[in-house]
Structure 1
């Protein structure tokens, strides 16, 4: 492979802002695996955000990219999987599997797509120092008439339309909106773009915590919500505390400590089969590897309010939640999934169209 921009490349990033800024190019924020595709004739590599190749996990996508991309190019985009008209991150995560036979089976069952939104090189020309507006024109021309599963990401300079996308596209599983300065050059691993994400709050039961890697202080709080059957389901964690606050939390939660997990709603967390019946912390996965997933059980009697962006398949927080405050006025059994706001459904096909 001999391209004007060579792997590995770390993608340009975005920093969070509260509102959609004016005077920029706006795109949907995709919820998938960020990927930079390098194609040089018959050679193709799908690079991850960390620079490691993803190609072996998406054989069906690699074939489509060879068929549909220009002969020599470097394209920034997102690998996504859609099910039932919306993005499905869980299905995407399943693809990172060590067994090639499992990858092939999933490639047939839940094929992936690639959404292109930037162009770093075309033919023999590097475009990283070319302004965004020109890169977008070149990308649009290069992908004119492109067919699924390769897509050109919708983009606009109309801030009102971007606000409409922000509201509608969440129903298709998208994360929010990305705003890019019109004269932006491509800079690896720098937060020069802006991301505007949804934020909601929920009252959750605190049923345990994990220790911080630095010592006997709180690393993250384990959060739960009760389902319709009265079962406490693990929905995620909240973290991002100061070191002082982590130590204070140990003292605050000490009255709730249990000697063991016996009698706890998540007592069976170490049994892999039990995770098929209920969501509990510590589920074995290829992501955690040999990481210590043990946790400190608490009597599920305290409630806290957390902020979150969206739920994955209506079952768990997609990202780490943010602690807001304790809610002594709420009882644990009142913390149910019913409080969660469901976005209006929107078909992903309408986004990509």
Structure 2
């Protein structure tokens, strides 16, 4: 590729903050999309879709390659997010399924669950690198190239209003977005640096601890396996809690030992939802089963189907809670919101 920037290029990152950053006269706010981060390179007919870990997405999203050729300038480098829609919300599970080794399956999924690219930064145009240009000017340049953009390539909304951003934070979750990103208007583009700010939703739930996986470093607790009861009373695997210190991991082995039981456990290693996938095929997914009698409070950002979208964070044990009372009914459900209304802004 004969571009001022060439792949691979690590994208600029954001660090998490607890609340929406106040407007200091320079900040620009954007909704935080829940998809695959991607840097798009186009040089004529040649298109490269770079992932966050700098490996190419190109072969998995042929419909995006065609959209980039049809809708973006001849020579451009653009940062954004690959997303898949499920009706009027984002569908991250369907997006995950798009990473498949078989070419025939890639072609079929491109037709059944087509992806879109939501752009939020312009890194190069023609012969010009824009990495040193302040973000506010990059954003203006980005808007100027979207005259021909259509269904496959979309432009994320932006606002300088803290009040508007706060409304987005609450409302847009109903369309599957997971927070707000704040960017200083004078910020140059800094690959692989956490210089933006992001605020994400956090909620708590009381869940049943039904097992644990050992840590990769040895026979200590790596993650707790968490469950909730559905409307039939069946205990469903909803995710894991991790992020313990090594000292605490060792202590947990002893604390959990009285609950170890392999008789009549509701789960097996190959029956956990999401246990085996193209992402985890090489991982040891065996676990130590526990009698489902312990309850723990965890923090989570949002649900993806019937599971926590990301690893939950341990908050405290809840010896006062009956495991049978830990159901999906306790979970807060965001009010639905229309993706088209977001992208029309």
Q: 1:120 aligns with which of 118, 123, 140?
A: 123
Contact 1:222/1:281, CA 8 A, preserved across alignment: no
Using the alignment, how far apart are the partners of 1:281 and 1:236 within structure 2?
9
Asked if 1:248 is matched to 2:245, the reply is no
Q: 2:284 aligns with which of 292, 297, 322?
A: 292
Q: 1:46 aligns with which of 34, 46, 49?
A: 49
Q: 1:209 aligns with which of 201, 212, 232?
A: 212
Question: Once the two structures are superposed, what CA deviation does each residue of 1:31-57 show, in whole Å capped at 9, x if it has no partner?
Answer: 000000000011100000011110110
Shift of 1:284: 1.8
Task: Report what 1:188 is aligned to.
Answer: 191
Q: 1:58 aligns with which of 38, 58, 61?
A: 61
Aligned residues: 341
Asked if 1:308 is matched to 2:309, the reply is no
Secondary structure of 1:44 counterpart = strand
Question: Given the superposition, is the C-alpha separation of residues 282 and 104 from structure 1 closer, same or farther in structure 2, using an over 3 Å criterion?
Answer: closer
Shift of 1:144: 2.7
Give the 5 Å matches for 1:230-245. Answer: 230-245=233-248
Give the 5 Å matches for 1:100-115. Answer: 100-115=103-118
Task: Report what 1:218 is aligned to.
Answer: 221
Shift of 1:252: 1.0
Task: Report what 2:9 is aligned to.
Answer: 9
Secondary structure of 1:156 counterpart = coil
Contact 2:71/2:148, CA 8 A, preserved across alignment: no
Secondary structure of 1:202 counterpart = strand
Question: Once the two structures are superposed, what CA deviation does each residue of 1:159-195 show, in whole Å capped at 9, x if it has no partner?
Answer: 1000000010000000100000111111111100000
Q: 2:317 aligns with which of 326, 340, 346?
A: 326
TM-score norm. by structure 2 comes to 0.97
Question: Once the two structures are superposed, what CA deviation does each residue of 1:230-265 show, in whole Å capped at 9, x if it has no partner?
Answer: 11000000000111111111111111012x3x4101
Shift of 1:84: 1.8
Secondary structure of 2:266 counterpart = coil
Question: Given the superposition, is the C-alpha separation of residues 246 and 252 from structure 1 closer, same or farther in structure 2, using an over 3 Å criterion?
Answer: same
Contact 1:282/1:294, CA 8 A, preserved across alignment: no
Using the alignment, how far apart are the partners of 1:35 and 1:282 within structure 2?
24
Using the alignment, how far apart are the partners of 2:258 and 2:273 within structure 1?
21
Task: Report what 1:80 is aligned to.
Answer: 83
Shift of 1:282: 6.9
Deviating 4+ runs (over 6 angstroms): none
Contact 2:172/2:337, CA 8 A, preserved across alignment: yes
Give the 5 Å matches for 1:29-178. Answer: 29-178=32-181
Question: Given the superposition, is the C-alpha separation of residues 282 and 28 from structure 1 closer, same or farther in structure 2, using an over 3 Å criterion?
Answer: closer
Shift of 1:283: 2.5
Using the alignment, how far apart are the partners of 1:10 and 1:179 within structure 2?
19
Question: Given the superposition, is the C-alpha separation of residues 282 and 175 from structure 1 closer, same or farther in structure 2, using an over 3 Å criterion?
Answer: closer
Asked if 1:200 is matched to 2:203, the reply is yes
Contact 2:39/2:78, CA 8 A, preserved across alignment: yes
Contact 2:84/2:94, CA 8 A, preserved across alignment: yes
